Structures are given as structure tokens and as C-alpha cells.
Amino acid sequence: MKVKITADSRKVITLAQTDVAKRIIEFCAEDETTAAEYARYAVNAIMRKHNDYCDTVLQCSAEIAGNGRVWNCILEDSENLDIWISGIAKCGCHFCEFGAYLSDIWEICGDIADADNMFSVVYSRA
């Protein structure tokens, strides 16, 4: 998965975390799952509430971000750094703008019961 550091990311990453941010990018580069696949997991969790599903992820990006609800979720010393995956998906006859942290997507993968919790932590606008 390709992860980038954006201007907003630079506001969150401290000088002490720059090496960790580089290692997170390297770690994610080795991940064979793409950002679009993770996005599909998140959008399907959202759309399950509406009895719909994600047809296509039209646009997707992954960037390093701060997440106050996690600690060392990606690497042992990643502290509060996480990956924010956002984009636009086509769901049925409408479009959905979404955003979710990778740590939250990992939580719901394979656990349908947790998908209801995903709805409360994912940004979505249809």
C-alpha cells in the first residue's frame, strides 16, 4: 500500500516521530493489500447499515495521520500515528465520500459484529 506524508500530516508528526513515519511508510509498502481494498472494507461496513454495498472505489488515498484513540497500532513505537484512508466510492445508485483509520479497518476485518462500531468511527457522506 502506498502511503504519503501530506501537508496536514506534517502538522501532526513531531520531529521525534519522523523516523517512525518513514518506517511506517516502508512497512505499508510491504503490505500487499492496497488502500482501495481497505477502503472497500470500510465502505461496506458503512453501507451495511443501509443494506447496500460498495460497487467501486473511484478514488482513494492513504496518508499518515494522528489518531488519539490508539497507541502503537502499526509499529511497536508508532505511538499515536495511524494511516488515514479516504476517498470516494460508488455504492448502488449514489456516491459516498469516506475516511477511516487503518487501525479501525483492521478491527472490523473478519468480525461482522464489530462492523456496527465501525459506523460510529468512520467519516462518511453520501
> What's the grid cell of residue 1?
500500500
**Residues 56, 95: contact at Cβ < 8 Å?**
no
Determine if the pTM surpasses 0.75: yes
Position 25 pLDDT exceeds 90: yes
Give the pLDDT confidence score for residue 46 in this predicted structure: 75
pLDDT bracket for residue 120 (50, 70, 90): low
Residue with cell 502506498: 2
Averaged pLDDT for residues 14-30:
91
Domain ranges of the chain: 7-125
Closest C-alpha among 88, 87, 117, 96 to residue 105: 117
Helices (H) and strands (E) in the chain, counts: 5, 4
